[in-house]
Amino acid sequence: MPARGDHRRMTTTVPRPRASGSLRRRLWRLAETVTTPVLPGDYLDLVAPLRAGTDLRGRILAVRAETPDAATLLIRPGRGWRPHVPGQYVRLGVDVDGVRQWRAYSVTSRPGRHPEPISVTVKAIEDGVVSNHLVRRVRPGTIVQLDQAQGDFVLPDPSPARVLFLTAGSGITPVAGMLRSGVLAGSDVVLVHSAPTAADVVFGAELRHLAERGAIRLVERHTNVEGLLDVAELDVLVPDHLDRQTWACGPVGLLDAAEAHWSARGYAQRLHTERFRPTIITAGDGGTVTFTRSSVTVTAGGATPLLDAGENAGVLMPSGCRMGICFGCVLPLRQGAVRDLRNGELTTALPGDGVRVQTCVSAAAGPCELEI
Amino acid sequence: MTVIQKKATNPIAHLSAEDIETLGEELDAIRQRVIDSRGERDAAYIRKVISTQRKLEISSRVVLLFSLFPPAWIVGTAGLAVAKILENMEIGHNVLHGQWDWMRDPKIHSTSWEWDHATPAEQWKQSHNELHHRYTNVVGKDNDLGYGIMRVDEDQPWHPAYLGQPFYNFVNACFFEYGVAAYDLDLGTNLKEGRHKHPEFRAKLRAAGRKIRRQVLKDYVIHPLLSGPSFFHTMAATFTANLIRNLWSHSVIMCGHFPEGVETFEKTSIDGETRGEWYLRQMLGSANISGSRLMHIMTGNLSFQIEHHLFPDLPSNRYQEIAPEVRALFDRYGLKYVTGSLPRQVFSAWWKVIRLAFPNRRQPATPAVDDQPTPVLVAA
């Protein structure tokens, strides 16, 4: 402990420039001793959730309707935000009904730094817990959790001279990010986009404007009238499509068909796809349980607590009351589905969701991975 | 109080095994209704309490930097005491019960929370959540019955050492957080049985030592140092705030299981206990405190001890809402819902501590209801 005099000197003397880093560290450590058991940051977060050095968050500045079921969120990212590469997505942690849910959305704005806002465009899908919340209920001012942008659905540098974008529905969003960034200026760009009707085309007006200006050639496919696009039609719609570097984003069916089409003609390396559909977790009765850090995998029945399954396989499981009241056995569920043995409630998780479960009252409901 | 199994009139004799299971199902249904309706309102509640507590704590500590001035001392000490009480009772205790785990917020989670208390969260969770909540009021299993230093049940054998228990209880109340830390370490038993060299015990001891060092450094060294000329005044202020918090939480916790009317259970009675029987034991083994909304928040809603013991992992703000339903079940099943005002329950618990410092006066066949205490004995 510094003596009282030392302490005074430390706080009042003007530091020499070289010592400033270390002084700052010492002050921070001092602050930690005052705020223990929490961190100084836990106090600062109350007033400055977007400051540097804290978990990355963003504040929703505005929600703009794009189509009847899609909206663009304008988000001011925290100081720690690193500019994205056009085409990348950002993971958004949103509290829906009090529960934190994580989803990935393409960034549709031009790359920038705090305080410049980023935008994502969300299409409400049927029964979508998060998408409906974001499109219809979320209010400006809400703080959301963010991750740094990621993903390799991006253009090379320099951009190719001839490009085809093949998109459908909300698959337009990463492409919109690329088009807006300006990196394609001078390239020959064709966009083939499918949506149920003209009104459902996300960024419809903007895309048509780009086409009028001659910046892109736009082929709109309104599937309610013209039916789903058969990828073979590209031979007619874009005769030189195989000569182009192609980026495709949309429903699984479209991507599978595109991959088959390009491979069959021997041009698979020219097609880049982005699969946005989350991994579908199908719940069953029992399943394989993997204890990731112990590298143990066992098959467990739908009535066997994960705790028992782990212990029987020799995993050193934390445990307590074994009746669901003490929370001494809680472990991260990396991914998969488990069922609460008390009320049958299902919990599903994907990597990054941050879901933790009580292993003594949960059973496998399909393949699942526990971090231990 | 005598274990329920030895009582002349058993308060659950009128219930059949079937009744008890039906009762369990009704309680499960109440639990499920709360789980189904948990949401934004509850999340907003706990975040609001946490943010209020942090603002109150930081501003009280800032005010105490000038504690040389008496008004600043009084305001700062009062604020800090309230902040510490909120932090321990409505926030810490409940977060560590996993009541807010469902929000999936890694910052408000039973696995990551640490509290402003001498005992490390990890050790407290084990002794409190796992042992006390599982073995509630089972004599010989639930060490919360007298914390291993007191005799609070006729069925605990008397020993002359218990003559001093009113005094131990008062000292324990003043330094309650350290009492809890020692209790979580099971210090008495571990030392007596010569386990002090066991690596596991030593690791726990080191963890508790680190935690206590940090807590003491904050309250009695760093904060006073930052106060400069107010050094000693701030030290006295943090000591007073800790003392108030200790006395308050000790009182609330005594009211949970010690007042007259609360039942205890024999060790063998829980062999093969069903879910319904476990619920029933929680119902009979806990006591509530009546009072205002503010009082409930300051007790961490442990004033709804019965509801808390039935559903230790439901959000604390919901206990008050389900209390009428729970009480209706007590009435319907002919069970006694023990409740009373804070002074009355504190008095009742203290009276038991004093009464049982002495050997049993009569054989347990006569219930002790006529033991009306004399008012001069009212403590704190």
pLDDT per position as a tens digit, B101-125: 999 999 999 999 999 999 999 999 9
Using the predicted structure, report yes or no on whether residue A208 has a pLDDT greater than 80.
yes
Q: Count Cβ atoms within 10 A of the Cβ of residue A110 and give its class: 0-12 exposed, 13-18 middle, 19 or more buried.
A: middle
Predicted pLDDT of residue A1 = 31
> Which of B6-15, B100-109, B173-182 shows the lowest mean pLDDT across its residues?
B6-15
Min CA distance, A43 vs chain B (Å)?
A: 7
% of chain A with per-residue pLDDT over 70: 93
Nearest-angstrom CA–CA distance, A336 and A280: 10
Mean pLDDT of B357-369: 65
Using the predicted structure, report yes or no on whether residue A74 has a pLDDT greater than 50.
yes
The reported pTM is 0.90
Superfamily, domain A57-146: Translation factors (2.40.30.10)
Nearest-angstrom CA–CA distance, A105 and A173: 8
Identify the CATH number of the domain defined by range A287-370: 3.10.20.30
* Interface contact B40, partner A, CB < 8 A: yes
Predicted pLDDT of residue B366 = 43
Using the predicted structure, report yes or no on whether residue B374 has a pLDDT greater than 70.
no
* CB-based contact B138:B266 (threshold 8 Å): yes
Predicted pLDDT of residue B10 = 87
Using DSSP's 3-state secondary structure scheme, residue B161 falls into: helix
* pLDDT digits 0-9 by tens, B269-286: 899 999 999 999 999 999
> Which of B26-35, B163-172, B321-330, B356-365 shows the lowest mean pLDDT across its residues?
B356-365
Q: How many other C-beta atoms lie within 10 A of the C-beta of residue B199?
A: 7
Contacts of A7 in chain B (CB under 8 A): 225-226
Predicted pLDDT of residue A280 = 65
Chain B stretch 328-357, residues whose beta carbon is closer than 8 A to a beta carbon of chain A: none
* Interface contact A356, partner B, CB < 8 A: yes
Nearest-angstrom CA–CA distance, A337 and A348: 4
Using 50, 70 and 90 to split pLDDT, how confident is the model at B192? Answer: confident
Using the predicted structure, report yes or no on whether residue B373 has a pLDDT greater than 60.
no
Using the predicted structure, report yes or no on whether residue B358 has a pLDDT greater than 60.
yes
Mean pLDDT of B37-59: 98
In 3D space, the residue among A32, A31, A75 whose CA is nearest the CA of residue A50 turns out to be: A75
> Edge-to-edge strands of the sheet including A271-274?
A217-222, A188-195, A162-168, A245-249, A271-274
Using the predicted structure, report yes or no on whether residue A199 has a pLDDT greater than 60.
yes
* Interface contact A46, partner B, CB < 8 A: yes
Min CA distance, B270 vs chain A (Å)?
A: 14
Q: Which residues pair with B290 in a beta bridge?
A: B341
* Interface contact A33, partner B, CB < 8 A: yes
Chain B stretch 195-214, residues whose beta carbon is closer than 8 A to a beta carbon of chain A: 211, 214
Predicted pLDDT of residue B219 = 98
In 3D space, the residue among A152, A59, A157 whose CA is nearest the CA of residue A106 turns out to be: A152
Predicted pLDDT of residue B362 = 64
Q: What is the 3-state secondary structure of B48-87?
A: HHHHHHHHHHHHHHHHHCCCCCHHHHHHHHHHHHHHHHHH
Using 50, 70 and 90 to split pLDDT, how confident is the model at A276? Answer: low
Q: Under an 8 A CB cutoff, do B126 and A320 touch?
A: yes
Using the predicted structure, report yes or no on whether residue A62 has a pLDDT greater than 50.
yes
Query: What CA–CA distances, in Å, run from A367 to A136, A208, A283, A297, A363?
Result: 34, 46, 9, 10, 11
Using the predicted structure, report yes or no on whether residue A184 has a pLDDT greater than 90.
yes
Query: From the list A46, A326, A356, which residue is nearest B125 (CB)?
Result: A326
Predicted pLDDT of residue A308 = 96
Using 50, 70 and 90 to split pLDDT, how confident is the model at B380? Answer: very low
Using 50, 70 and 90 to split pLDDT, how confident is the model at A11? Answer: very low
Mean pLDDT of B313-333: 98
Nearest-angstrom CA–CA distance, A339 and A302: 8
Predicted pLDDT of residue A352 = 87
Predicted pLDDT of residue B368 = 43
* pLDDT digits 0-9 by tens, B62-83: 999 999 999 999 999 999 999 9
Q: In Å, how far from its chain's centre is CA B296?
A: 13
Please state, rounded to an integer, the average pLDDT across all residues of chain B: 92
What are the boundaries of each domain within chain A? 57-146, 162-274, 287-370
* Interface contact A47, partner B, CB < 8 A: no
* CB-based contact B249:B179 (threshold 8 Å): no
Using the predicted structure, report yes or no on whether residue A65 has a pLDDT greater than 50.
yes
Predicted pLDDT of residue B147 = 82
Predicted pLDDT of residue B361 = 77
Using 50, 70 and 90 to split pLDDT, how confident is the model at A12? Answer: very low
Nearest-angstrom CA–CA distance, B148 and B142: 9
Residue type, A164: L
Nearest-angstrom CA–CA distance, B215 and B117: 7
* CB-based contact A181:A204 (threshold 8 Å): no
Q: Evaluate the CA torsion angle B24, B29, B30, B31 in order and state its sign.
A: positive
Nearest-angstrom CA–CA distance, A192 and B276: 63
Nearest-angstrom CA–CA distance, A167 and A274: 10
* Interface contact B238, partner A, CB < 8 A: no
Predicted pLDDT of residue A354 = 87
* pLDDT digits 0-9 by tens, A316-328: 999 999 999 999 9
Contacts of B58 in chain A (CB under 8 A): 43
Using the predicted structure, report yes or no on whether residue B369 has a pLDDT greater than 50.
no
Q: What DSSP assignment string belongs to B178-227?
A: HHHHHHHTTHHHHHHTT-TT-HHHHHHHHHHHHHHHHHHIIIIIIHHHHT
> Any idea which architecture A162-274 has in CATH?
3-Layer(aba) Sandwich (3.40)
Predicted pLDDT of residue B149 = 86
Q: Under an 8 A CB cutoff, do B223 and A7 touch?
A: no
Instruction: Assess whether the previous peptide bond of A158 is cis (omega < 30° from 0).
Output: yes
* CB-based contact B31:B290 (threshold 8 Å): no
Token pair 């492409």 in the structure block, residue: A175
Predicted pLDDT of residue A19 = 56
What are the boundaries of each domain within chain B? 4-35+115-284+320-377
Nearest-angstrom CA–CA distance, B312 and B99: 7
Using the predicted structure, report yes or no on whether residue B329 has a pLDDT greater than 50.
yes
Predicted pLDDT of residue B371 = 39
Predicted pLDDT of residue A21 = 78
Contacts of B67 (CB under 8 A, 6+ apart): B73, B76, B77, B227, B230, B233, B234, B236, B237
Most confident among A18-22, B177-181, B357-361 (mean pLDDT):
B177-181
> Which of A110-119, A228-237, B359-368 shows the lowest mean pLDDT across its residues?
B359-368
Contacts of A353 in chain B (CB under 8 A): 104
Using 50, 70 and 90 to split pLDDT, how confident is the model at A274? Answer: confident
